[in-house]
Chains A and B, each alone.
Chain A
Amino acid sequence: MISAVPLEWVLILASGLFCVGLFGALSRRHAVSMLMGIELMLNAVNINLVAFWRYTQPDEVGGMIFALFVIVVAAAEAAVGLAMAIAIYRTWQTVNVDSVDSLRG
């Protein structure tokens, strides 16, 4: 059924999503937006893993398991990152990464 869709299409979709997320993480100025871009990158990885599992190793669970670990880590990272954004806002009254920039030299 899914074999109607070649594996390449899914992988191209995942790499496109990765690159969009990369662009977001690199060029948005709002810290929360940057975190959203990183979440998109991690989701692209998961699409890759699930596609590899489905097309090349449907009888093993390795890819699925790894995807679950990626979700766990993404959730942990998001929790710490958003906590940090809130703490930054309390001190600086902004979360723009451009403005939060006193360390130089």
Chain B
Amino acid sequence: MPPEIVIPAIDVRVIAPMLTIFAWATVLLMVDLFMPGKDRKLTGYLALAGLAVTALVTLAVQPAPGTSRTSFSNMVVLDSFGTTLTLILLLIAAFSIAISINYLSYHNIEMGEYYPLILFATGGMILLGQSTNLILVFLGVELLSITLYVLTAFFYPRYTSEEAGLKYLLLGAFAAGFLIYGIALIYGGAGTLDLFEIGAFLNTSLAVGSAFPPGALLVLIGGALVLIGFCFKISLVPFHMWTPDVYEGSPTPVAAFMSVGTKGAAFAALLRILIVALLPFKIYWLPVLGVLATLTMLFGNIAALMQPNMKRMLAYSSVGHAGYITIGIMTAGTHGTESFLFYLLAYALANMGAFAVLITLERRGEMAWSVDDFAGLWKRYPLLAIAMATFMLSLAGVPPTAGFFGKFFVFAAAWEDGQIFLVFMGVLSSAIAAFFYLRVIMRMFMDEPVREVIPIFNRGLTITIGIAVVGTIVFGLLPTPLVSLVQNSVIALGVGG
């Protein structure tokens, strides 16, 4: 007689955001099949509606301040950190879809499956931000990556798009190999895949006293391999080489989505692994992350200096920003997660805006995102030039913008932690970065136009650029509400409570 299947007590509220988005994506996939005609804009608007519904659900189930809920055998947790991160990710996805709707039809690559794939990737990101089990971390990374490989290769009239997709896939699958090999070693050492239990295991076994008790060394090596796997996903130097190629080849909205969304989600998962499971190993991962952050900030910004191609420049700038975010997560064990979340939101607004401006100037059938197109923009399209200038200033971290406070909080937290050298390198690389951001502004405002540009405007682009400009400036002038929001976003360090 077989045992009865006992479904364990499930708290559906914990997975409500990702449940909503996955269900919406699946239904949208089928609705799209029955939609008449070639026009797929309606699918895009339905996807936007899905994101709005998911945001409402997320707000409805958010836990009371200071509490968290776990369910599904403690595999997922819903804490205020996860809620805030989910909202930021939904905003990023909404921006990406809004700037895609006309982009796809304009470049003749309109297919209804595009939008459900974006929703699937967003769901994977939300999952990464909430999972407390290495199985789910692995599945989240893969769900996110596989959909992004497809989206990267989506621009089929451009032969570079498939090339970018192949490069991204080969390196991504390779990184996944490292990630799961590391997870397997952690499983062998600690005997569990649960982040809380791994943390408890390390605490008890390291307390015994000997240098490396059974299991701990294996967890350490496994953790290092997991870190390598994540470094590919968040493109830390020296694992960044795919980034500019993939960004240049992929459709511009997808590049925008990848540059912020993937980084945010992967950093969040790494943050959870580091401070929930591997906190006893902080003496090891702190210097490693410090070296990686320094290399990333310096190399990313120096490489961006020499780029005549705006899209590649933004790719290298995103590499540089990954370095600053790394400093943010290094301080997370002591200063909470506020600098990470604030930086992520400021960066998301500025970067999505900059990519949206890039889309208005993108030429059909050509592959140029030359910085020349920005020359003299002020004389012809002053509003567009002002918007782009705002984004560049925010990315550079100049005071009246949100980007300034993002960098400020990251550096302040690192300073209080005693990471003086990192703060110094961060400021130095910001000075280097300011050079190329300001060069774009100079060309827009000072130079004469080099060649004819005809910006394409539509509702999605205008609204996205508008929200991004307003957000960047408002959070730059009045950061207090946002600061209190992110300060209340705490990672759950234990089960329940």
Contacts and interface: CB of A to CB of B under 8 A. Distances in A.
A58 interface: no
Interface string B185-200: 1011001110000000
A59 to B, nearest CB: 12
28 contacts: A21-B177, A22-B177, A25-B174, A38-B170, A38-B173, A38-B174, A42-B176, A44-B181, A49-B187, A57-B191, A66-B187, A69-B139, A73-B138, A73-B142, A84-B162, A84-B166, A84-B169, A85-B166, A87-B153, A87-B156, A87-B165, A88-B166, A97-B166, A97-B170, A100-B166, A103-B249, A105-B244, A105-B248
Interface string A37-70: 0100110110011001000110000110110011
B309 interface: yes
A92 B169 contact: no
A57 B307 CA distance: 54
Contacts of A101: 163
A89 B177 CA distance: 25
Given A18-B181, A45-B177, A80-B169, A103 B135 contact: no
A16 interface: no
B447 interface: no
Nearest to A73: B142
B173 A77 contact: yes
A102 B160 contact: yes
A80 B163 contact: no
B407 interface: no
A31 B160 CA distance: 16
Interface in A67-105: 69-70, 73, 76-77, 80-81, 84-85, 87-88, 91-92, 97, 100-105
Contact of A56 (B184, B191, B309): B191
B233 interface: no
Nearest to A81: B169
Contact of A88 (B163, B176, B184, B312): B163
Nearest to A87: B162
Contacts of A81: 149, 169-170, 173
B146 interface: yes
B160 to A, nearest CB: 6
A52 B159 CA distance: 45
B180 interface: yes
- The contact size tier of chain A is 35 or more
Nearest to A37: B174
A76 B173 CA distance: 11
A63 B312 contact: no
Nearest to A21: B177
B427 interface: no
Contacts of A76: 142, 146
B181 A48 contact: yes
A69 B166 CA distance: 23
B245 interface: yes
Contact of B170 (A21, A34, A49, A63): A34
A21 B178 CA distance: 11
Dominant secondary structure at the B interface = helix
Given A76-B142, A101-B163, A102-B159, A70 B180 contact: yes
Contacts of B153: 84, 87
Given A41-B181, A48-B181, A48-B184, A77 B159 contact: no
Contacts of B167: 97, 103
B416 to A, nearest CB: 39
B166 to A, nearest CB: 5
**5 nearest A-B pairs in the assembled complex, by CB-CB distance:** A41-B177, A103-B245, A48-B184, A52-B188, A38-B173
A63 B193 CA distance: 9
Interface in B304-339: 307-309, 312
A62 B173 contact: no
Nearest to B306: A105
Given A48-B188, A57-B191, A103-B163, A31 B135 contact: no
A31 B174 CA distance: 12
Interface string A7-25: 0000100000010011001
A103 B155 CA distance: 15
B387 interface: no
Considering residues B142, B170, B192, which has the most beta carbons from chain A within 10 angstroms of its beta carbon? B170
Nearest to B188: A52
B188 A62 contact: no
Given A42-B180, A81-B169, A100 B163 contact: yes
Most chain B Cβ neighbours within 10 Å, of A48, A49, A69, A105: A105
Contacts of A63: 187
A31 B165 CA distance: 12
Nearest to B182: A45
A21 B166 CA distance: 18
B149 A84 contact: yes
A105 B188 CA distance: 43
A92 B124 CA distance: 32
Interface string B425-458: 0000000000000000000000000000000000
Counting chain B CB atoms within 10 Å of each CB, which of A25, A41, A103 scores highest?
Answer: A103
B473 to A, nearest CB: 33
A41 B309 CA distance: 36
B121 to A, nearest CB: 13
Contacts of A104: 245
Contacts of B307: 105
Contacts of B169: 77, 80-81, 84
Contacts of B164: 103
